[in-house]
Amino acid sequence: MKVALLVKGAFANTPEDLKRDVQTVFLPLVLPNFAALAELQTDLVFDLYASTGLEQAVVATALESAGLPFTGSSALGHFLALNKSWAKSVWRSQGLPTPTSFDDQPPTAQEFPLIVKPTFGGAGEGIYCTSLVHNPQELKEQLTWMAPLSPLTVEQYIPGREITVGILGDPPRVLPPLEIGFDRLPEELPPILSYEAKTRFVELLNMGPARLDRGLAAEIGRICLAAFQSLGLRDYGRVDLRLDPANQPYLLEINSLPGLQPDYSDMPRAAALAGINFRDLVWEIANLTLARKGKTHKERMP
């Protein structure tokens, strides 16, 4: 079997196990040049083109236009997931809990604190320690300096525990939830996944299995699965949410192309908690794509 590993520019978190067991083509792609796709002949494109903004949805559009089978969600799924405003609108229409947004109306004094984030993109891109604002003046200042970066979303801040949940398979299933702990953060950093905290992740943040009672875990699983399916996503993804002090879950955002770097990315960590090693995770994702072509790769690796 021939697999093309599609990555952004010269950078890649490449599934090395896949490269060892099949014929692989390393395919760096620089937008908007899609010439590399035009004559590509392969059984499978393993799409690792994760990016800020909407680029990964544009790449999926190009793959669809070229008629190439590729891992992960469709172009439409990526567009919906990467636009936080659209995703939240879909979730609200489905009765799924997500923080109140203030994109079209100013918040009242009682509704602070708030979070300011870019509307486009995933993985918490564009969130800084100053993104948590406590009054109208801080909100104005944050909106002013962030305005050139992207359309912006202003939403209710949910204090409490931060949970991330992997989704895998067809039909999709929920992987064991992970929790991100903020207890090691210095006082000057707010308890959010800010750029300042993530660049010092190992030093400042904890990540491990979420300790949840059975009922709460089931409710989180139901909400995350519904959030994934409501956007038409497929194969795999990751849902980020917060639990308020009363343990009410709120959907924050969804990552339609989560990282697959072993021993680092959240998706392999969650899969490991479910007893799925990295090799089997990669091959399950690949076989989901092959199944859409009406065939699967039968060979199982040791």
Per-residue model confidence as pLDDT tens digits over 207-221: 999 999 999 999 999
44-60 mean pLDDT: 89
Q: Is CATH 3.40.50 correct for 2-72? A: yes
Tell whether the torsion through CA atoms of 72, 78, 82 and 86 is positive or negative: negative
pLDDT of 25 > 70? The answer is yes
Which pLDDT belongs to residue 19?
63
Task: Collapse the DSSP code of 120 into the 3-class scheme (helix H, G, I; strand E, B; otherwise coil) and give the result.
Answer: strand
On the question of a cis peptide bond just before residue 209, with omega within 30 degrees of 0, the verdict is: no
- The pTM for the full model equals 0.91
Which pLDDT belongs to residue 123?
55
10 vs 73: which has the higher pLDDT: 73
Common-topology check for domains 2-72 and 81-256: no
Report in angstroms the alpha-carbon separations of 35 from 28, 32, 59, 204: 11, 9, 12, 43
CATH number of 81-256: 3.30.470.20
Q: Please state the domain extents for the chain.
A: 2-72, 81-256
pLDDT (tens digit per residue) in 262-302: 878 899 999 999 999 999 999 999 999 999 887 555 444 33
Confidence of residue 12 (pLDDT cuts 50, 70, 90): low
Task: Collapse the DSSP code of 207 into the 3-class scheme (helix H, G, I; strand E, B; otherwise coil) and give the result.
Answer: strand
Degrees to nearest 5, angle at CA 183 with 182 and 189 = 60
